[in-house]
């Protein structure tokens, strides 16, 4: 299968490394022509994961999106959720016919508050059978240093899902497959919100004891949302879904605890008194949990899960409630 990577941030760069380390030649859409020239000359991304080096003979780099799309069988979408629609607006439905799309996006598209596969079905009539979700727990920085990590691939077509997972397997990447396409994507969205909250708690100088209780309650809240969502959509909630698995609980834990987590870092700034704007400027990367907090708040108006933690974080980020007051409220919900 011929793969194309869409995006040039840290996660896109990590995925390009994984595929090429497993012997795949890839097409890589990089928006900035200067970045392309740099990678071709210096063999690494100048802005992200500069320790990850590439064999130029395995790369076809282009800033022409349609050229990359036409050349490949499968597109790995690794841009922040807020920018995904800008990418797809450059394409027509016929451009995606017969393609596989592998979403490495860990967020909801904010314009119409939908997951990527829902957006693609509405605007491109793209079938969910050709859509796959690629999720962690897996930090790009640890991929660059080749520390053992796990990736989960979720798709309706189990044979193709397994084939894709095999293409991403390396000595430092183990792969897992499941069929919970909607659930794993929402879990990835929610864990970013809770990780941002963990950062706020750290910035407010709560200790490890509190944080362990906060994360345990966040895990329960996430599962309650996923079950309510499945009930709403008529899915049997327990069928094949192990919510203690790495793609659900594992990803939540690493994103809440790891110093690599940009959401935790962003939240830490908020807890220390930074404004949202100041924290965004200081971080200089997208913290998906910020937009996700608003998207989940809106989504839950129809799902109707009980989500006091996610709601309190939304109020801190979007309604300018005091972080200290918000966490005093959260204290009263924890068990």
Q: 292, exposed or middle or buried, with CB in 10 Å at 0-12, 13-18, 19+?
A: buried
Sign of CA dihedral 180, 85, 76, 54: negative
Nearest-angstrom CA–CA distance, 230 and 182 = 9
Nearest-angstrom CA–CA distance, 11 and 285 = 12
Other CB atoms within 10 Å distance of the CB of residue 33: 11
For the chain, give every domain's residue range: 3-179, 182-331
Q: Is the CB of residue 163 less than 8 Å from the CB of residue 134? A: no
Sign of CA dihedral 210, 108, 78, 83: negative
Q: What is the pLDDT of residues 116-156, one digit of tens each?
A: 999 999 999 999 999 999 999 998 999 999 999 999 999 99
Return phi, psi of residue 282, to 5°: -70, -40
Nearest-angstrom CA–CA distance, 51 and 43 = 10
CATH 1.10.443.10 correct for 182-331 = no
**SS in 3 state form for the chain?**
CCEEEECCCHHHHHHHHHHHHCCCCEEEECCCHHHHHHHHHHCECCCCCCCCECCHHHEEEECCHHHHHHHCCEEEECCCHHHHHHHHCCCCHHHHCCCEEEECCCCCECCCCECHHHHHHHHHCCCHHHEEEEECCCCHHHHHCCCCEEEEEEECCHHHHHHHHHHCCECCEEEEEECCHHHHHHHHHHHHHHHHHHHHHHHCCCCHHHHHHHHHHHHHHHHHHHHHHHHHHCCCCCCCCCCCCHHHHHHHHHHHHCCCCHHHHHHHHHHCCCCHHHHHHHHCCCCHHHHHHHHHHHHHHHHCCCCHHHHHHHHHHHCCCCHHHHHHHHHCCCC
Looking at residue 238, its pLDDT comes to 46
Question: Could you tell me which CATH number the domain at 3-179 has?
Answer: 3.40.50.720
> What is the mean pLDDT of each successive set of 10 residues along the chain, which is 335 residues long?
96 96 96 94 94 94 96 96 93 96 92 92 96 94 93 96 96 95 95 97 97 97 94 61 92 93 94 93 83 94 96 97 97 95
């Amino acid at each position: 299968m011929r793969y194309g990577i869409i995006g040039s941030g840290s996660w896109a760069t990590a995925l390009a490394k994984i595929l090429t380390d497993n012997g795949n030649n890839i097409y890589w859409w990089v928006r900035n022509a200067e970045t392309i020239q740099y990678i071709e000359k210096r063999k690494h991304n100048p802005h992200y994961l500069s320790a990850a080096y590439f064999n130029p003979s395995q790369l076809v780099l282009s800033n022409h999106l349609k050229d990359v799309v036409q050349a490949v069988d499968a597109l790995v979408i690794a841009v922040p959720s807020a920018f995904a629609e800008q990418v797809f607006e450059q394409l027509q439905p016929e451009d995606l016919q017969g393609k596989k799309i592998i979403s490495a996006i860990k967020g909801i598209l904010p314009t119409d508050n939908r997951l990527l596969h829902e957006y693609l079905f509405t605007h491109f009539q793209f079938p969910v059978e050709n859509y796959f979700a690629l999720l962690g727990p897996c930090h790009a920085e640890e991929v660059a240093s080749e520390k053992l990590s796990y990736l989960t691939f979720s798709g309706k077509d189990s044979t193709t899902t397994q084939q894709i997972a095999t293409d991403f397997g390396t000595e430092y990447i183990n792969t897992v497959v499941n069929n919970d396409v909607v659930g794993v994507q929402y879990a990835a969205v929610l864990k970013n919100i809770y990780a941002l909250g963990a950062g706020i708690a750290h910035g407010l100088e709560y200790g490890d004891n509190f944080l362990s209780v906060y994360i345990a309650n966040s895990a329960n809240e996430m599962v309650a949302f996923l079950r309510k969502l499945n009930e709403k959509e008529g899915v049997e909630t327990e069928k094949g879904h192990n919510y203690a698995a790495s793609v659900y609980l594992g990803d939540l834990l690493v994103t809440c605890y790891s110093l690599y987590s940009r959401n935790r870092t962003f939240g830490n700034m908020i807890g220390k008194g930074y404004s949202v704007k100041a924290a965004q400027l200081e971080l200089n990367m997208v913290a998906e949990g910020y937009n996700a907090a608003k998207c989940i708040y809106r989504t839950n108006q129809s799902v109707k899960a009980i989500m006091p933690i996610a709601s309190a974080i939304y109020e801190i980020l979007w309604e300018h409630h005091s972080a200290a007051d918000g966490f005093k409220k959260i204290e009263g919900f924890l068990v």
